[in-house]
Amino acid sequence: MKVLLTLLVTFLSYFAYSQQGQDPMRWITPDGIFDIVVDKNGDAFDLVDLRTNSSKPIGASNTVQSVPSQSCNTGYFTLFFAPGSYFASSAAAQSVACEVFLTLSTLINTSLPNNIKINIYCGDVAGGGAGFASPFYVYPSYPTNPNQGYGLSQVEKALIMGIDPFANIPISVFPGSNNFYYGYLYVDPNLNWNTSMNTLSISASQHDLFTVIMHEAIHLLGFSTLINYNGNSRLLIPNGNNLYTTYDKFLVDHALNPILTSTTAGICPNSNVVFNSGLSTTVIATSASTSCGSNSTDCSTGAKFAGSTYTTTVFTPSCYTAGSSLSHFEDICDYGAFTTTCTPATSPGFNDLYFIMSNSITPVIVT
């Protein structure tokens, strides 16, 4: 009888996690508590695939893909270039990527020691945008209270706390810290890229690789939302955590009401964080559709980022666009005295021409 109960529990556990796309046979932490890793889009990955010596890095579908053999140490980061990718075939592209992260490192104030590097996997995005990047979020799956507040990505944990955030994860297989990816960065290999860092102008048919990688690297550092179209966190479905980013803490509606609030604001304002029940989810998107492809914001209703010294409208298209909505500044509304010889893409402003963190580098999207 005990044997049957044990088998039943094992089967139910296996079935539950298999339904979520996770295979308990690949767990490397006790009961798989830390094995469901999630990116900013809510896509789940197996922790075991985040190892820098994995032959299936970042959940790549090709299981015979080889371990990256090309990398560069640059500032606080180590970039690993995926075999067969645009980066692996272009020394100039590698130089641009390394220069971007070196530049950012000179601007970062952290106590992270020199012997700990933030590992970033660099590869190709399969169309749909010039670039895409995300840090990883590693938290215990399915906590009793999912509304725990604001969480840090692995990149933020390293820079803010000055530690290797993987070091204290109870890994029972492949033990050892400092050998996991903290995030990834992809670019479209089919675009006509300018890789020169010594020119002030490029042709109309080119896209500037330094600008795109800088944009994506800033997302990696924490400039990104986890708020989904319904107000919940994108982490909720993959691993049961309704955590939001520190960036989300500064998001407000057009009338400056916070999009997120704490149910214990008087005691623990950074815990028990949920979507503001006094608002409608139309502050996130006015349409239930998630695929309208809009590249503009209604400046009279768009959400805002309210920082300590500056408030600006964020990209709030009519329908929710994962990876883009709320995660970019909307220059169509806040370009100020900016002037350019370029023709505004959308009235009334110079859409996607002012902020490096705008949602698009015309004619392609960056997320």
For residue 138, give every residue at least 6 positions away whose Cβ sits within 8 Å of its Cβ, in sequence order, or none: 34, 37, 47, 154, 165, 166, 169
Would you state the structure tokens that stand for residue 281, as one six-digit string? 């989810």
pLDDT reported for residue 38: 93
Q: What pLDDT, on a 0 to 100 scale, did the predictor assign at position 290? A: 61
Q: Is residue 109 part of a domain?
A: yes
pLDDT of residue 7: 38
Establish if 102 belongs to a structural domain.
yes
Asked if residue 269 has a cis previous peptide bond (ω within 30° of 0), the answer is no
Q: Considering the domain boundaries, does residue 270 fall inside one?
A: no
For residue 338, the model assigns a pLDDT of 58
pLDDT at 347: 57
Element holding 364 (H helix, E strand): strand 364-365
CA dist 326 → 250, 260, 315 (Å): 11, 13, 5
CA distances from 303 to 176, 249, 270, 326, 367 (A): 43, 13, 21, 7, 18
**Structural domain that includes position 170:** 19-220
Number of domains observed in the structure of the chain: 1
Q: What sign for the dihedral angle of Cα 285, 291, 297, 300?
A: negative
Residue 8 lies in a domain: no
Per DSSP (E only), the strands in 203-362 are 207-208, 251-252, 260-262, 273-275, 304-306, 311-313, 360-361
Q: What is the pLDDT of residue 94?
A: 98
Give the model's pLDDT for residue 10: 41
Does residue 255 fall inside a structural domain?
Answer: no
Query: Is 138 inside a domain boundary?
Result: yes
Let me know if residue 210 belongs to a domain: yes
Write out pLDDT tens, residues 13-38.
444 444 344 677 788 888 889 999 99
- pTM, to two decimals: 0.88
With tokens 């239930």, the residue in question is 288
- The reply to whether 233 falls in a domain is no
| pLDDT at residue 37 in the model | 93
Q: Which residues, given as ranges, of the chain have pLDDT below 50?
A: 1-21, 62-64, 177, 363
